[in-house]
Structure 1
Amino acid sequence: MKKDQMTPGRRALLRAATVFGLAAAAGCSGTERPTTPRPTASSGAAAGGPPAARALKPSAYRLQPMAGQGPPHAARALPRVRRKPILRMDGQGRSMFLTFDDGPDPRYTPGILRTLREYDVHATFFVCGEMAVDNKDLLREMAGDGHLIGNHTWTHPLLPKMSRSAMREEIERTCEVVEDAVGEPPAWFRAPYGAWNRNAFQLGADLGMEPLAWTVDTLDWTEPGTASIIRRVRAGAGPGVVVLSHDAGGDRSQSVEALRTYLPELIDGGYRLTVPSRYGT
Structure 2
Amino acid sequence: MTKETKDHFLTRRRTLITGLAALGAAGTAGLFSLRSTDTPTTPTTPATSALGAPGPQARLPQKPSAYRLQPITGHTAPRPARARPPVRTEPLLSMDDMGHTMVLTFDDGPDPRYTPDILDTLAAYDVPAMFFVCGEMAAENRGLLERMADAGHVIGNHTWSHPLLTRLDRAAIRAEMESTCEVVEKAVGEWPRWFRAPYGAWNRAAFQLGAEFGMEPLAWTVDTLDWMEPGTRTIVDRVHEGAGPGVVVLSHDAGGDRSQSVRALRDYLPQLLDAGYHLTVPRRRPV
On whether the aligned pair clears a TM of 0.5, the verdict is yes
Q: Could you tell me which residue of structure 1 aligns to residue 155 of structure 2? A: 149
Letter in 2 for 1:219: L
Please give the alpha-carbon distance, in whole angstroms, between the structure 1 residues aligned to 2:26 and 2:161: 20
Please give the alpha-carbon distance, in whole angstroms, between the structure 2 residues aligned to 1:136 and 1:84: 32
Please give the alpha-carbon distance, in whole angstroms, between the structure 2 residues aligned to 1:152 and 1:198: 16
Structure 2 residues without counterparts, runs of 5 or longer: 1-21, 35-94
Which of the residues 18, 23, 41 maps onto 1:82?
A: 23
Say how many residue pairs are matched.
200
Please give the alpha-carbon distance, in whole angstroms, between the structure 2 residues aligned to 1:167 and 1:224: 32
Please give the alpha-carbon distance, in whole angstroms, between the structure 2 residues aligned to 1:121 and 1:137: 20
1:1-281 to 2 correspondences below 5 Å:
82-87=23-28, 89-90=31-32, 92=95, 93=97, 94-278=100-284
Question: Are 1:150 and 1:187, in contact at CA under 8 Å, matched by a contact in 2?
Answer: yes
Secondary structure of 1:82's aligned partner = helix
Please give the alpha-carbon distance, in whole angstroms, between the structure 1 residues aligned to 2:217 and 2:178: 15
Structure 1 residues without counterparts, runs of 5 or longer: 1-80
Calculate percent identity across the aligned residue pairs.
69
* C-alpha displacement of 1:86: 2.1
Please give the alpha-carbon distance, in whole angstroms, between the structure 1 residues aligned to 2:263 and 2:28: 25
Question: Are 1:100 and 1:245, in contact at CA under 8 Å, matched by a contact in 2?
Answer: yes
TM-score computed with the length of structure 1 as normaliser: 0.69
* C-alpha displacement of 1:279: 5.7
Relative contact order (C-alpha < 8 Å, sep 6+): which is higher? 2
Please give the alpha-carbon distance, in whole angstroms, between the structure 2 residues aligned to 1:109 and 1:102: 10
Question: Are 1:239 and 1:271, in contact at CA under 8 Å, matched by a contact in 2?
Answer: no
Secondary structure of 2:105's aligned partner = strand
Question: Are 1:151 and 1:189, in contact at CA under 8 Å, matched by a contact in 2?
Answer: yes
**Higher Cα radius of gyration:** 1
Please report the RMSD computed on the Cα atoms of aligned residues, expressed in angstroms.
Answer: 1.5
Q: Could you tell me which residue of structure 2 aligns to residue 35 of structure 1? A: none
Distance 1:116 1:241, change over 3 A: same
Letter in 2 for 1:83: G
Q: Could you tell me which residue of structure 2 aligns to residue 64 of structure 1? A: none
Secondary structure of 1:245's aligned partner = strand
* C-alpha displacement of 1:183: 0.5
* C-alpha displacement of 1:250: 0.2
Question: Are 1:210 and 1:279, in contact at CA under 8 Å, matched by a contact in 2?
Answer: no
Q: Could you tell me which residue of structure 2 aligns to residue 9 of structure 1? A: none
Letter in 1 for 2:182: E
Question: Are 1:204 and 1:211, in contact at CA under 8 Å, matched by a contact in 2?
Answer: yes
